[in-house]
Amino acid sequence: MLSVLRRGVVSQVRQFSTNQIAVEGFTASVGNTPLIYLKKLSQQTGCKIFGKAEFQNPGGSIKDRAAVGVVRDAEEKGLIKPGGTVVEGTAGNTGIGLAHVCRSRGYKCVIFMPNTQSQEKIDLLRMLGAEVHPVPAVPFENPQNYNHQARDYAKNLTNAIWTDQFDNTANAYAHFISTGPEIWQQTQGDIDAFICATGTGGTLAGVGKYLKAKSKGKTQIWLADPPGSVLYQYVSTGGKLAERSGSSITEGIGQGRITDNLGTFVSELSGALHIPDEKSIAMVYELLDTEGLYLGASSALNVVAAVELAQKLGKGSKVVTVLCDGAYRYQSRLFSKKWLKAKGLEDAIPEHLRKYAVLD
Ligand SMILES: Cc1ncc(COP(=O)(O)O)c(C=O)c1O
């Protein structure tokens, strides 16, 4: 596969300027992200580790794909008409993706989120034209949970949809028809395993289903899981759902239940890896230092998992993961000495990489 790798910045610029045709608007510019060969980690392991550059989506994250997918699905089913309202419960990237999609397609966007979220997130969504409702942060079982409030709000409006990212399988389908085929094409089908963490489960289920079908079962699909999530234990014990406990510095991933999106695929997983925060934060710094990639903690966790899985599968194995978003949305924490200390993560970062923690 190395023979088909495009090398360096110059060849990439040429390739793009000659091969790409114009696309219409935000929604058509989602996807078709590069697959990056992670050279140093590949050399260190004797394997081939690849990260799909989802941070290059126009809204800045992998969730742009889900946002386009759930809105398109509603349009195709006639559930929303021009001028309608899109409602979602989300604290992060899905809301940003939806806010962009709504502006580009002429819908109103209403976001419900727990009131524990940062003012920056609320401000960004409002700058993107969304109406934001911060509501008390209560567990999913409580009817006042932000997801249920989003559902009820949409129910009481005409020409409105609740996009329901966790249990609406149009989310996983968006990855089945885009992310999965792109990875298959970019690796020319020469891929031993795919691994990533899940929030809604849309990425893992959609990509997993496509790669498994295309490879006739040969490509293994694995789950990566942060602390504070029940999924690692669920997969490793063959289906025992424990109480959720603990927490993680990663955002957007980890779950307390089997969502409908994950549920469409969870029984076909080959296994799961638990990745502690110490390894994820170290990889944030490592990827910056060795690859020049400025990525959020969920991407770093995915890369740690891809490396561990490749080592498990043996020398020469080829493993793909997703680089979900950039570090820009988290930089005031990930690169702050004070924050690292408060989280007890200072020592997790190798000494020669601590120079990147430039914020107090
Ligand atoms: C930064 C980040 N990484 C990963 C994910 C997980 O993706 P999925 O919801 O497809 O499981 C999310 C989801 O919101 C996210 O925001």
User: Which atom of ligand 1 has the smallest separation from the CA of 172?
Assistant: 10
pLDDT of residue 91: 78
pLDDT for residue 215: 98
Question: Would you say 196 and 172 are in contact if contact means Cβ atoms under 8 Å apart?
Answer: no
Q: How far is the CA of 145 from the centre of ligand 1 (A)?
A: 19
Mutate to test the pocket of ligand 1, among 298, 301, 328 (most ligand atoms within 8 A of CB): 298
CB of 207 closer than 8 Å to CB of 183: yes
Lining residues, ligand 1, CB within 6 Å: 61-63, 92-94, 198-203, 251-253, 296, 298, 324-325
Q: What is the pLDDT of residue 243?
A: 86
The predicted pLDDT at position 15 comes to 43
Q: Is the torsion defined by CA of 207, 213, 214, 219 positive or negative? A: positive
Query: What distance in angstroms lies between residue 188's CA and the mean position of ligand 1's atoms?
Result: 26
Are 318 and 47 a contacting pair, CB within 8 Å?
yes
- From atom 16 of ligand 1, which residue's Cα is the shortest distance away? 252
pLDDT at 18: 47
Q: What is the pTM of this model?
A: 0.95
User: pLDDT tens digits, the chain, 360 residues: what are they?
Assistant: 444 565 654 444 434 444 568 989 999 999 999 999 999 999 999 999 999 999 999 999 999 999 999 999 999 999 999 999 999 999 789 999 999 999 999 999 999 999 887 788 899 999 999 999 999 989 888 999 999 999 999 999 999 999 999 999 999 999 999 999 999 999 999 999 999 999 999 999 999 999 999 999 999 999 999 999 999 999 999 999 988 889 999 999 999 999 999 999 999 999 999 999 999 999 999 999 999 999 999 999 999 999 999 999 999 999 999 999 999 989 999 999 999 999 999 999 999 999 999 999
Q: What is the pLDDT of residue 48?
A: 98
Write down the H helix ranges in the chain: 8-19, 25-28, 39-45, 63-76, 93-105, 119-127, 146-155, 170-177, 179-186, 202-214, 231-236, 260-263, 277-291, 297-313, 331-334, 337-342
| Per-residue pLDDT, 116 | 82
Ligand 1 mutation target, pool 68, 223, 301, 324, most atoms within 8 A of CB? 324
Measured in Å, residue 327 CA sits from the centre of ligand 1 at: 14
For residue 90, the ligand 1 atom closest to its alpha carbon is 14
Which residue has the CA at smallest separation from atom 14 of ligand 1? 252
Half-sphere exposure of residue 282, counting CA atoms within 13 Å on the CB side? 14
Measure 11 CA to ligand 1 centroid, in angstroms: 31
Give the catalytic positions in this structure: 63
- DSSP letter at 242 equals P
Q: Which of 5, 38, 36, 48 is nearest to 311 (CA)?
A: 48
> How does DSSP assign 261-277, residue by residue?
HHHTTGGG--EEEE--H
For residue 357, the SS3 value is: coil
pLDDT at 244: 86
The pLDDT, as a whole number, for residue 19 is: 53
Closest residue by Cα to atom 13, ligand 1, is 252
pLDDT at residue 5 in the model: 62
The count of other CB atoms within 10 Å of the CB of residue 41 is: 23
Pocket mutation for ligand 1, best pick of 54, 56, 61, 261 (most atoms within 8 Å of C-beta): 61
Atom of ligand 1 nearest to the CA of 299: 3
